[in-house]
A and B are shown apart, each in its own frame.
Chain A
Amino acid sequence: MFDIATQLFEGQDIRFGPIDYEKDPEVESRWTHNAGFMRLYEFEPARPMSAAIVKKQYEKLEKKIDEDKNLYHFMIRAKADDRLIGKAVIQRIEWANGNCSVRVGIGSTADQRKGYGTQALKMLLRFAFAELNLFRVSANVAEYNKGAFALMRKFGFVEEVRRRQALEREGRRWDLFVFGLLKDEWVNQVSA
């Protein structure tokens, strides 16, 4: 498992790549027209975004990465045909404490429930712990996001905080959970 020659950006069926300004905006624009996806991926109100808006967001994102130095952003692509299937992000890195927060999204309904999210999180955790040398990884999960709960359990994340009624959607309040995974917990897992 711990081998210097390990390809960090290659998974079984997916790979991580940079933003493609030619092709990606149109694909991601399509995802934003699916309110179901947006509501699972963001706590902000879902809203459709044109390819032009998505492109502007990519530019803003890359500028922020450059200036703040506390964010890593990967496009998830299918190895079979190189199409864009999602995004994997390490954000809010606190270098002095060794903390960060992760986010994975699989954009189109057709690509969901295929194990791509699991592969992406596996690569993301390896990158966070074995490349960035961080000490812990957090993830915020809304009560209604059952898929995310399953993913957290699969990787041994511990439910640490339950922020009661922190979200409102569909006319009712939902709790917001913070999950955490420590480096030694991850090391034990991957060495087992």
Chain B
Amino acid sequence: MRDLFRGELVRLTSEEPDARARIEVRWPLDTEFHRLADGDPAELTSQKKLKEEFEKRAEGGFTPERYFFCVRTLDDDKHIGFLSLWLDLIHGDVMVGVGIGERDYWGKGYGTDLMKLCLQYAFMELNAHRVSLGVLEYNPRAMRAYERAGFRLEGCTRKDLLREGKRFDSLWMGILREEWLQQQNGVKP
């Protein structure tokens, strides 16, 4: 059996609410990170509130439709990002939320490795039929990571982002279970 939680550069973890809040409270201060990750306006949350949210999640126990992970590097064991999966139980569609909050780790292959773990978990553990995500037009680096992991472009919602007075598109990507399985067996898409 493969290791579901360990890639070549990163691993999936669950961090203590306190430790997680201490690190993640810094990430939105980097508004470029926020704007690359999300189309909503930037906002700041206190460490206390973050910690309470993570505690609430922990107390909530198992829910079959939500899966939250933290991401650590293998080489220096640093907590650099998060991965959240929402499974539509009825239609077998997984929606992905993902981010690397530590900018020193951008553009070095961590994201691609993380997306491979994400797909392995969605298809081999959640038994999803497909995996979906959205990416912003002005974030080509993320789009390349998703493409390398096997996602295909399924369309774009025109001009649905307004940033710095300019309109941008959101791009929507997806990968089907059969496509991922073929890719695992060495068939080129």
Which residues does A use to contact B, with CB under 8 Å? 43-45, 94, 96-99, 135-136, 138, 158-168, 173, 178, 180, 182
Contact count A vs B, C-beta below 8 Å: 72
State in angstroms the CA–CA spacing of A163 and B174 once bound together: 7
- Would you list 25 pairs from A and B whose C-beta atoms are within 8 A, ordered by A residue? A94-B39, A96-B41, A97-B39, A97-B160, A135-B159, A135-B167, A136-B157, A136-B159, A136-B160, A138-B157, A158-B158, A160-B155, A161-B156, A161-B157, A162-B154, A163-B172, A163-B174, A164-B154, A166-B93, A166-B130, A166-B174, A168-B92, A178-B157, A180-B160, A182-B158
- For A161, the chain B residues whose CB sits under 8 A away are 154-157, 172
- Closest Cβ of chain A to B135, distance in Å, is 12
A162 and B155 form a contact (CB under 8 A): yes
CB contacts (< 8 Å) of B47 on chain A: these are none
Summarize A's interface: helix, strand, loop or mixed.
strand
Question: Chain B interface mostly helix, strand, loop or mixed?
Answer: strand
B144: min CB distance to chain A, Å: 20
B188 to chain A: which residues have CB within 8 Å? Answer: none
Verify A168–B130 contact, CB threshold 8 A: no
Contact A164 B176 (CB under 8 A): yes
CA distance A95 to B19 in the complex (A): 33
Extra contacts, 19 of them, besides A168-B91, A178-B155, A180-B157 (Cβ < 8 A), are A44-B90, A97-B161, A98-B162, A135-B162, A138-B157, A160-B155, A161-B156, A163-B154, A164-B130, A166-B91, A166-B93, A166-B130, A166-B132, A167-B91, A168-B90, A168-B129, A178-B157, A180-B160, A182-B159
Q: Which residues of B contact A163 (CB under 8 A)?
A: 93, 130, 132, 154-155, 172, 174
**Interface contact B160-A99, CB-CB below 8 Å:** yes
Given contacts A136-B160, A162-B155, contact A96 B40 (CB under 8 A): yes
Min C-beta distance of A31 to chain B, whole Å? 20
Question: Which residues from chain B contact A165 at a C-beta distance below 8 Å?
Answer: 129-130, 176
CA of A98 to CA of B156, assembled, Å: 16
Which 3 residue pairs are nearest across A and B when measured between Cβ atoms?
A161-B155, A161-B172, A96-B41
State A161–B174 Cα separation when bound (angstroms). Answer: 11
Q: Complex Cα distance A29/B172, Å?
A: 36
- B118-162: CB near A (< 8 Å → 1, else 0) gives 000000000001101000000000000000000000111111111
Report the minimal beta-carbon distance from A41 to chain B, rounded to whole angstroms. 15
Closest CB-CB distance, A99 to chain B, in whole Å? 5
Assembly CA distance A97 to B165 (angstroms) = 10
Contact A136 B130 (CB under 8 A): no
Q: Which residues of B contact A136 (CB under 8 A)?
A: 157-160
The distance in angstroms between the C-alpha atoms of A45 and B89, with both chains bound, is 11
Evaluate whether A160 and B157 lie within 8 angstroms (CB atoms) in the complex, with A45-B90, A96-B41, A168-B92 already known: yes
- Minimum Cβ distance to chain B for residue A68 (Å): 13
Nearest CB of chain B from residue A175's CB, rounded to whole Å = 9
CA distance A164 to B155 in the complex (A): 10
B159 neighbours in A (Cβ, 8 Å):
135-136, 182
Query: Nearest Cβ in chain A — how far from B32, in angstroms?
Result: 17
Tell me whether B157 and A164 are in contact (CB under 8 A): no
B130 contacts across to A, CB distance below 8 A = 163-166
Q: How far is the CB of A39 from chain B (nearest CB, A)?
A: 12
